[in-house]
Amino acid sequence: MKQGNKTNWTVADSAELYGIKHWGADSFTLSDDGRVTIQAEFPQGPVAVSLSEIVAGAKARGHDCPLLLRIENLLAARVRLLNDSFATAIKHTGYKNRYKGVFPVKVNQQAEVIHEICRFGKEYNHGLEAGSKAELLLALANLNKDSLLICNGYKDREFIDLGLLSRKLGIDCIFVIESPSELPIIIERSRAFNIKPLIGLRIKVSAKVGGLWTETSGDRSSFGLSTAQLVEVVDQLRKEQMLDCLQLLHCHLGSQIPDIEEIGAGVREAARFYTDLSREGVPLRYLDLGGGLAVDYIGNQTKHSHSRNYNLNDYCRTIVETVAEVTDAKQVAHPIIVTESGRATVAHTTLLLFNILDVLQFEPLSLPQQCPDNMPELVAEQFDLYLQSEQPSVATYQQALRNRDTIRNLFRRGDIDLRQRSLSENLFLAIARRTLDWLDSNPTEESKLPQLRHLMADIYYGNFSVFQSLPDTWAIGQVYPVMPIERLDEVPCRDAIISDLTCDCDGRLAGFIIGNGESPTLPLHNLKDGEEYILGVFLIGAYQETLGDLHNLFGDTNVLSVKINQNGSFDVVREVPADSIADVLQITEHSPQQLFEKLRVRAEAAVRRGDIDLTERQQLLGEFSARLQGSTYFNRDAGGEK
C-alpha cells in the first residue's frame, strides 16, 4: 500500500513493508543506510555485503543491468542446511539409517550451479537426478563417488546403455521405471552388456496435495505405476530372477507443497508400499520421496500456494518420524531416505537486478477553474463531482467512475468529441487521485474501493524481459519478492506495477509481496535525475534460467557469480557477458553475416541511385555491424534513459 507522506520513515519500516525479514531466510537483510545486503554465515558470525557494492563492482567489470546474480555462499548454505536438518531429525528420532539428498538437474541445469552443488555436497554424498539424455551426460561427468544418480523420465536404448556402462565406474545409477514398457529394454540391455542394473519403481500415491502443481500428484499424475502395474513389474522381475536389482521405491509427493499434513499423508502411503514390498522379499534399500519441499516466497508460513505452513525442521522430522512409525509397525528395517529437493536448494541463491528506465504516472493535467460553456450534460456533471471531491467520499468516486464509462460509450457513438472526452478523463483522474490520497488517511474505507489503487498505479518501465528472466510470473502466476536495493531509509511514495521492455501486454509484474501477504501494486520511490534506480527480484534460482525464452529477441542477461569473504569483501568467481544481438539472431537461424551482406547490397544500390553518399553508407553499415555485437537490452550509455 502507498505510504503517503509518512514522516520518520526508518529502515525497519522498509524491512516490514517489503517483507524481507519474512522471506529473506536470514540470507537478505537491510543495512542501517538503507541498502539490501547479502548475509553469509561464517564461524565467527554473519558477514553482510550490500547489493549496491556488488552492482558497482559489476559495472566496473563492464556488466551493466540487467544482471543475474548468483551467490555461491547461499548455495553452499542451502545444501548444508538440508543435509544437516535431516541428520538432526534422524538423530532425535533414533532412526536406524541415513539420508541421501539428490538434486533434480531440471530445476537449474546451469554448469556453475551443478558444479557447486556437487562440490558443496561432496561431504554429504549429495547426488543428482537426471530426466533426459543431456542431463544424464552432465550428471555422469559431475557426480561425486558414493552419490546417487537417479534416472527418471522415459528412457530409450541410448539412455539405458550409458547408464549401465556407468555402473562399471562404480556409479550408483538407478533406473526408475515410470511405465511397464521400460522394463523389457532394461532387461535386454543389461543382459547384452552383462551388467546388473539398479532399478527403482515409481508408484503413484493417491494422496493429493494443494498448491500450483496439485495435478502432479495423485492417481492422475503423468508419471508412475498404478498399484496393479507395480505388482506386475515386481512379479516380472522375480520371474526374470532380477528381484535383487530392485533397490528403490520412488514416489513424487508433489511440487511446492504448502501443507505439512499433506506431506505426512503422502509419506505414510509411500512407506506402506515400501513395507509390504519388503515383507514380500523385495530387497529394497531406498525410499525416494521426490520433491515437494516448498519455498516460502511470501514468508507468512500459511497454506498459501506461494508459502508453506512449516519450516525445514518440521519437514525433515515429519518424513523421518512417519517412515519410522510405518516400518516399525511392520517390523521392516528403516530405509535410506532420499528426497529430490530442487526448488528449496537453489531458489535463494539467484536474483535478478534491473534498472528502471522511465515512469508513466496517472496524474491529472491542469484543469480549468470553471466548466467550459456548451459542455455535454454528463461532462458538466463530472466537473461538479470534481469540485465535490475536495471533500472526498466513496460515493463521489463511484459516481465519477460510472460517468467516465458512460462518456466513453458516448464517444464511441460519436455523441461526444475528442476534447470533451479529454476533459472528462482528466476530471476523473483528479477525482480518483484525491480519493486515493483520502484513503491513505482512512484505510478502513479502502475495502469499498478495492480496484482504485491498482487503477491509479504508476507503470515503472524496467530494463528486462519477463519472458527471458521470470517466465513463471507470466506462465503460472508465480509471485517473487521484488524491492529496491537502496534508498530504503526513504519513504516509498508511489504505488506501481512494473512493465518490461517487450512489446507485449503480458510483459509485466502485477503481483507483489508486501509485508507477509500479496498486493497488486508495489510501493516505490520517485526517480531522481541522474541517479539509477535498481530493483531486485529475489528467490528466482529455480527453473527461471532455463525456462526463459527469446520473446522480442531479448537474450540472456549478464551473469555474475559472487563469493562473499569473511573480511566483508567479495570475489567475482565467474562472469558471463549477456547475449549479443548476433547471438540471439543465430539462435533463431538468422546468419548475422548474411544479414550484413543483404544490407550492404541494399546500401550499394542506394549509393548508385544517389539516395545516400559513401559517408552515409559507411555510417549505416558501421552502426549495423556495431549493433550486432551489442546487448539486446537498453543501453544506458546510448542516451534516452532518465
Residue ranges in the chain modelled with pLDDT below 70: 1-6, 207-208, 210-222, 636-642
Residue-wise pLDDT for 407-446, tens only, equals 999 999 999 999 999 999 999 999 999 999 999 889 899 8
β 494-499/172-177 pair status:
unpaired
Name residue 19's amino acid: G
HSE value, Cβ hemisphere, 13 Å, CA-based, for 512: 27
3-state helix, strand, coil in the chain (%, to 5): 45, 20, 35
To 10 degrees, what angle do helices 111-120 and 133-142 make? 40
72 Cα distance to chain centroid? 18
Number of H helices and number of E strands within the chain?
A: 22, 23
Tell me the DSSP string of 22-59: HHSTTTEEE-TTS-EEEEEEETTEEEEEEHHHHHHHHH
3-state class of 176 per DSSP? Answer: strand
- The burial of 633, by beta-carbon neighbours within 10 Å (0-12 exposed, 13-18 middle, 19 or more buried), is given as buried
Rg (CA), the chain: 30
Report the alpha-carbon distance of residue 386 to residue 423 in Å, rounded.
11
pLDDT at residue 642, as a whole number: 44
pLDDT at residue 504, as a whole number: 87
Query: In the block, which residue shows the cell 549478464?
Result: 558
Which are the contacts of 248, defined by CB distance < 8 A and separation ≥ 6? Answer: 150, 174, 176, 198, 199, 200, 201, 284, 285, 286, 287, 288, 338
Report the alpha-carbon distance of residue 472 to residue 532 in Å, rounded.
27
Domain range list for the chain? 89-346, 377-454, 589-629
Which three cell numbers mark 606? 542506394
Query: In the block, which residue shows the cell 492422475?
Result: 220
- The burial of 249, by beta-carbon neighbours within 10 Å (0-12 exposed, 13-18 middle, 19 or more buried), is given as buried
Report the alpha-carbon distance of residue 209 to residue 221 in Å, rounded.
11
Q: Can 173 be counted among the known catalytic residues?
A: no
Q: How far is CA 298 from CA 12, 67, 306, in A?
A: 18, 23, 6
Q: Are 267 and 318 in contact (CB under 8 A)?
A: yes
pLDDT at residue 4, as a whole number: 47
Q: How far is CA 396 from CA 101, 427, 605, in A?
A: 61, 12, 65
Tell me the DSSP string of 90-121: HHHHT-SS-EEEEEEGGG---HHHHHHHHHHT
Q: Are 123 and 362 in contact (CB under 8 A)?
A: no
Torsion angle of C-alpha atoms 566, 568, 569, 575, degrees rounded to 10: 80
- Closest-CA residue to 232 (of 275, 175, 279, 177): 177
Catalytic residue among 245, 493, 503, 505: 503
pLDDT at residue 641, as a whole number: 46
Query: What would the CATH number be for the domain defined by 89-346?
Result: 3.20.20.10
Which three cell numbers mark 505? 501486454
- Closest-CA residue to 451 (of 495, 500, 498, 407): 495
Residue-wise pLDDT for 364-377, tens only, equals 999 999 999 989 99
pLDDT at residue 311, as a whole number: 94
514 strand-pairing partners = 517
pLDDT at residue 224, as a whole number: 86
pLDDT at residue 23, as a whole number: 94
H helices present in 150-203, as ranges:
157-166, 182-193
Query: In the block, which residue shows the cell 509471485?
Result: 479
Which are the contacts of 418, defined by CB distance < 8 A and separation ≥ 6? Answer: 411
